[in-house]
């Protein structure tokens, strides 16, 4: 932060913020620094020291970024827990990280209502012995339970604090943050990132992948509770002295054109979002983006999942008006920052490919035995050499770290990403999704992403998730969950005939081997808040009829209930 305060960026807007109800705030770099310093001093007054863990259970408000920066300023390690997670999920993450302080809010605005944050978790906080204080930001003003002595109001705590607080120097390997990410099974892993390497790569990639200039208004829709919110909402843009736009609520409030209206009003130039969001905008129809000019945009980005060519083309045409390059950025919570992505203007793009590894990143696609794959041969995505922002360990579980990431290619000492991929004849990377999502049908390896992409290219389909169920005859039977475009589902669609139509479509697009055995219609698919379809839950549902594993990262539990009841129809 401080590097900007001695330049003309001092009075530049760092954060343009919109609350869901429509309230707005702007913080310059100077104003942001004052708030960060006051909070850092307040944390010190609570006894927070270098190496202590501070939990942050907040929504998309500027104070959340201030909290992260205040922690890093005094060497505390932050542990941001997504505000949509349940009380139990929060408790487990606070327990595992031994958090000393929790920063939270009374509530946050979402879908037009004030939903409780502190109130929703109050009862469970007694179960975290390491927790000394809970600091509560007043955002909605709703009634909030407070425990005497332990719980403090944010505004009281920072009131009267000095606005100066020295940024202390720390070793480059000093822990900066822990961020929990769900494993395929079992309890979530606390991914640990440290200071020097993480910040270096976050800063470099933000600058070069987004071609960031001082004049830009940069809008990343990711929640801070996700790694994208850490690297490309908070640290990357602020280190580069950018102006970022931060939005509190859901994209469809008060109307489905909220984001497009914000892009016009703030003259956003760079827009970064997830394929799942793009598909849901597609599903809503072109009329909403078409209500706005969107002429300020010059660069678009995506992250989180393979983007199907259909969605890529729509994004390019309807949002980018065919003027804006699209950067499809592949990376993980574990990699800390972008690894495979075009650099706009320098690398020609192909819809659906993240293109090439960034300079210095030694990514490759290899067989199980570690041999290089031939062009277009599916294999495992590995990274053969360390990179600055790589995770340093799984917090409190170094064995799990080695086992999860370094046991598949032990001899070569390569990092295994868990993703399947192929490289085409030009060396471009095509990510096929998690290897757990690769299925074997009659001896053929198929990425479920490929079948999903075929389904989504059908004019009636908005979104789909394909999973396999063990089958005596074929090895796996393919079950496709499909949600139809709203224009189709709001009529009275002839579902059995659409089922046949879709099966035939996949046969034609990929081949009869990929023809789904069963098509199930659903209004919505089970997803994490960051938009990844939880295929594991669907897999459990089609094989055992229930879901047993960890569901703490699921965004909307009612979706599972609906899917279950849809089977009985
Ligand atoms: C940033 C983030 C990581 C997993 C990763 C992939 C998938 C992410 C892309 C992608 C295809 C992309 N972190 N993934 N980006 N797949 N193309 N551009 O998402 O830890 O939450 O997830 O997401 O499977 O391993 S994450």
Ligand 1: centre distance to CA 183 (Å)? 13
H or E segment to which residue 328 belongs:
strand 326-328
Q: What is the 3-state secondary structure (H, E, C) of 361-428?
A: CCEEEECCCCCECCCCCCEEEEECCCCCCCCCEECCCHHHHHHHHHCCCCCCCCEEEEEEEEECCCCC
| 408 alpha-carbon distance from chain centroid | 26
The CATH classification number of 364-433 equals 2.30.38.10
Nearest atom of ligand 1 to the alpha carbon of 528: 21
pLDDT of residue 445: 67
Ligand 1: centre distance to CA 64 (Å)? 24
Test site for ligand 1: of 191, 422, 431, most ligand atoms within 8 A of the Cβ: 431
Closest-CA residue to 2 (of 64, 67, 54, 73): 73
SS3 207: helix
| Mean pLDDT on 196-210 | 98
Which range is least confidently modeled, 84-98, 135-149, 431-445? 431-445
pLDDT of residue 566: 55
H or E segment to which residue 116 belongs:
strand 113-116
Nearest atom of ligand 1 to the alpha carbon of 341: 18
Q: According to the per-residue pLDDT averaged within each range, which of 236-245, 474-483, 522-531 is highest? A: 236-245
Ligand 1: centre distance to CA 165 (Å)? 37
Q: CA-CA distance, 441 to 419, in Å (whole number)?
A: 19
| Mean pLDDT on 39-48 | 98
Q: What is the distance in angstroms between the CA of the first residue and the CA of the last residue of the chain? A: 57
Q: Is the dihedral of CA 76, 81, 82, 87 positive or negative?
A: negative
Specify the CATH class of 2-250 in words.
Answer: alpha beta
Closest C-alpha to ligand 1, atom 22: 332
| 219 alpha-carbon distance from chain centroid | 14
Ligand 1: centre distance to CA 305 (Å)? 5
Test site for ligand 1: of 188, 191, 227, 303, most ligand atoms within 8 A of the Cβ: 303
Nearest atom of ligand 1 to the alpha carbon of 340: 18
Residue 204 tokens, joined: 């470099």
| Whether the Cβ atoms of residue 170 and residue 50 lie closer than 8 Å to each other | yes
Q: What is the pTM of this model?
A: 0.88
Q: How far is CA 105 from CA 31, 125, 145, in A?
A: 21, 14, 11
pLDDT digits (tens, 9 = 90+) for 288-345: 999 999 999 999 999 998 898 889 999 999 999 999 999 999 999 999 999 999 999 8
Phi, psi at 257, each rounded to 5°: -105, 15
Contacting residues for 511 by C-beta, under 8 A, at least 6 apart: none
Residue 54 tokens, joined: 């501070």
Closest C-alpha to ligand 1, atom 12: 330
Selected residue with higher pLDDT from 108 and 450: 108
Ligand 1: centre distance to CA 417 (Å)? 10
Closest C-alpha to ligand 1, atom 23: 304
Ligand 1: centre distance to CA 177 (Å)? 19
- List, as own/partner pairs, every contact residues 22-28 make where C-beta atoms lie below 8 angstroms and the sequence separation is at least 24, other chains included: 25/62, 27/62
Q: Give buried/exposed letters for 394-423 (b at 16+ CB in 10 A, else e).
A: bbeeeebbeebbeebbeeeebbbbbbbbbb
Strands 461-471, 444-447: pairing is: unpaired
Ligand 1: centre distance to CA 274 (Å)? 10
Which range is least confidently modeled, 14-23, 522-531, 554-563? 554-563
Which range is least confidently modeled, 67-81, 188-202, 450-464? 450-464
pLDDT of residue 131: 98
| Whether the Cβ atoms of residue 480 and residue 520 lie closer than 8 Å to each other | yes
| Protein residues whose CB sits closer than 6 Å to any atom of ligand 1 | 181, 227-228, 303-306, 328-333, 354, 417-419, 431, 433-434, 530
Test site for ligand 1: of 225, 300, 305, most ligand atoms within 8 A of the Cβ: 305
Ligand 1: centre distance to CA 431 (Å)? 9
510-380-533 Cα angle (round to 5): 60
Ligand 1: centre distance to CA 169 (Å)? 32
Nearest atom of ligand 1 to the alpha carbon of 181: 20
Relative orientation angle of helices 448-456 and 495-509, to the nearest 10 degrees: 120
Nearest atom of ligand 1 to the alpha carbon of 334: 20
Closest-CA residue to 327 (of 456, 207, 197, 424): 207
Q: CA-CA distance, 516 to 525, in Å (whole number)?
A: 17
Q: Is 11's pLDDT higher than 60?
A: yes
Of the chain, the percentage scoring pLDDT greater than 70 comes to 96
| Mean pLDDT on 125-136 | 98
DSSP code of 347?
S
Closest-CA residue to 395 (of 212, 552, 189, 107): 189
Fold of 438-568: GMP Synthetase; Chain A, domain 3 (3.30.300)
pLDDT of residue 466: 93
| Mean pLDDT on 116-140 | 98
Nearest atom of ligand 1 to the alpha carbon of 226: 21
| Mean pLDDT on 227-244 | 98
Nearest atom of ligand 1 to the alpha carbon of 228: 1
Ligand 1: centre distance to CA 196 (Å)? 23
Of the chain, the percentage scoring pLDDT greater than 90 comes to 77
Nearest atom of ligand 1 to the alpha carbon of 431: 11
Closest C-alpha to ligand 1, atom 8: 304
Structure confidence at residue 568 as a pLDDT band (50, 70, 90): very low
Nearest atom of ligand 1 to the alpha carbon of 302: 18
pLDDT of residue 545: 76
Ligand 1: centre distance to CA 332 (Å)? 5
Instruction: To the nearest 10°, report the CA torsion of 344, 449, 424, 356.
Output: 30
Ligand 1: centre distance to CA 330 (Å)? 6
Closest C-alpha to ligand 1, atom 19: 304
Test site for ligand 1: of 330, 420, 435, 532, most ligand atoms within 8 A of the Cβ: 330
Ligand 1: centre distance to CA 149 (Å)? 42
Q: CA-CA distance, 386 to 414, in Å (whole number)?
A: 9
Q: CA-CA distance, 404 to 427, in Å (whole number)?
A: 27
Q: CA-CA distance, 68 to 130, in Å (whole number)?
A: 20
Phi, psi at 295, each rounded to 5°: -80, -15
Residue 45 tokens, joined: 């007054």
pLDDT of residue 183: 64
Nearest atom of ligand 1 to the alpha carbon of 330: 18
SS3 70: helix
pLDDT digits (tens, 9 = 90+) for 345-364: 899 999 999 999 999 999 99
DSSP string, 101-114: EEEEESEEEETTEE
| Furthest CA-CA distance within the chain | 73
Q: CA-CA distance, 481 to 538, in Å (whole number)?
A: 9
| Whether the Cβ atoms of residue 208 and residue 342 lie closer than 8 Å to each other | no
On the question of a cis peptide bond just before residue 473, with omega within 30 degrees of 0, the verdict is no
Which range is least confidently modeled, 75-84, 349-358, 373-382, 543-552? 543-552
Helices first, then strands: H and E counts in the chain:
19, 26
Ligand 1: centre distance to CA 489 (Å)? 30
Mean of per-residue pLDDT scores for the chain: 93
pLDDT digits (tens, 9 = 90+) for 396-435: 999 999 999 999 999 999 999 999 999 999 999 999 888 8
Closest C-alpha to ligand 1, atom 17: 306
Ligand 1: centre distance to CA 166 (Å)? 36
Q: Is 186's pLDDT higher than 80?
A: no
Structure confidence at residue 541 as a pLDDT band (50, 70, 90): confident
pLDDT of residue 508: 85
Q: Is 443's pLDDT higher than 70?
A: no
Ligand 1: centre distance to CA 556 (Å)? 20
**Cβ-based neighbour number of residue 98 at 10 Å:** 16
pLDDT of residue 569: 37
H or E segment to which residue 155 belongs:
helix 154-158
pLDDT digits (tens, 9 = 90+) for 444-498: 767 788 889 889 989 999 999 999 888 877 778 899 999 998 888 888 889 999 9
Closest C-alpha to ligand 1, atom 1: 332
* Domain spans, the chain: 2-250, 364-433, 438-568
């Amino acid at each position: 932060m401080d590097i900007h305060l001695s330049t003309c960026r001092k009075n530049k807007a760092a954060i343009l913020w919109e609350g869901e109800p429509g309230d707005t705030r702007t913080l310059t770099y100077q104003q942001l620094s004052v708030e960060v310093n006051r909070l850092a001093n307040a944390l010190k007054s609570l006894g927070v020291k270098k190496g202590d863990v501070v939990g942050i259970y907040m929504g998309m408000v500027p104070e959340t970024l201030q909290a992260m920066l205040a922690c890093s300023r005094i060497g505390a390690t932050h542990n941001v827990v997504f505000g949509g997670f349940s009380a139990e999920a929060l408790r487990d993450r606070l327990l595992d990280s031994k958090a000393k302080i929790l920063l939270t809010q009374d509530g946050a605005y979402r879908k037009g209502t004030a939903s409780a944050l502190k109130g929703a978790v109050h009862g469970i906080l007694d179960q975290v012995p390491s927790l000394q204080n809970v600091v509560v930001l007043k955002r909605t003003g709703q009634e909030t339970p407070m425990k005497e002595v332990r719980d403090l109001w944010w505004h009281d705590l920072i009131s009267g604090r000095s606005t100066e607080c020295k940024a202390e120097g720390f070793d480059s390997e000093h822990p900066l943050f822990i961020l929990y990410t769900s494993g395929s099974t079992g309890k979530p892993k606390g991914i640990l990132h440290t200071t020097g390497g993480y910040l270096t790569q976050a800063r470099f990639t933000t600058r070069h992948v987004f071609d960031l200039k001082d004049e830009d208004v940069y809008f990343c829709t990711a929640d801070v509770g996700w790694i994208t919110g850490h690297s490309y909402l908070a640290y990357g843009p602020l280190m580069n002295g950018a102006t970022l736009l931060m939005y509190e609520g859901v994209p469809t409030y008060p109307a489905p054109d909220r984001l497009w209206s914000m892009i016009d009003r703030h003259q956003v130039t760079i827009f970064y979002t997830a394929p799942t969001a793009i598909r849901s905008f597609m599903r809503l129809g072109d009329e909403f983006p078409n209500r706005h000019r969107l002429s300020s945009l010059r660069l678009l980005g995506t992250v989180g999942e393979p983007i199907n060519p259909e969605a890529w083309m729509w994004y390019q045409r309807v949002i980018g008006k065919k003027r804006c390059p699209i950067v499809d950025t592949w990376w993980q919570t574990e990699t800390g920052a972008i690894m495979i992505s075009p650099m706009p203007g320098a690398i020609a793009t192909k819809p659906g490919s993240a293109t090439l590894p960034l300079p210095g990143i030694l990514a490759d696609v290899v067989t199980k035995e570690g041999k290089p794959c031939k062009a277009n041969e599916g294999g495992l995505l590995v990274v053969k050499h360390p990179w600055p922002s790589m995770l340093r360990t799984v917090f409190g579980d170094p064995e799990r770290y080695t086992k999860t990431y370094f046991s598949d290619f032990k001899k070569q000492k390569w990092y295994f990403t868990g993703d399947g991929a192929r490289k085409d004849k030009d060396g471009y990377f095509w990510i096929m999704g998690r290897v757990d999502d690769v299925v074997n049908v009659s001896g053929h390896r198929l990425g479920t992403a490929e079948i999903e992409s075929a389904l989504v290219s059908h004019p009636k389909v908005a979104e789909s998730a394909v999973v396999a169920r063990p089958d005596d005859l074929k090895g796996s039977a393919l079950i496709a969950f499909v949600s139809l475009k709203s224009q189709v589902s709001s009529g009275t669609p002839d579902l059995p005939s659409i089922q046949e139509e879709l099966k035939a479509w996949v046969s034609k697009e990929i081949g009869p081997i990929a023809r789904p055995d069963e098509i199930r219609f659903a209004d919505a698919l089970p997803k994490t808040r960051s938009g990844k379809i939880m295929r594991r839950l669907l897999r459990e549902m089609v094989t055992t009829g229930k879901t047993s594993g960890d569901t703490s990262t699921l965004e909307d539990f009612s979706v599972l209930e609906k899917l279950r009841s849809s089977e009985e129809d």
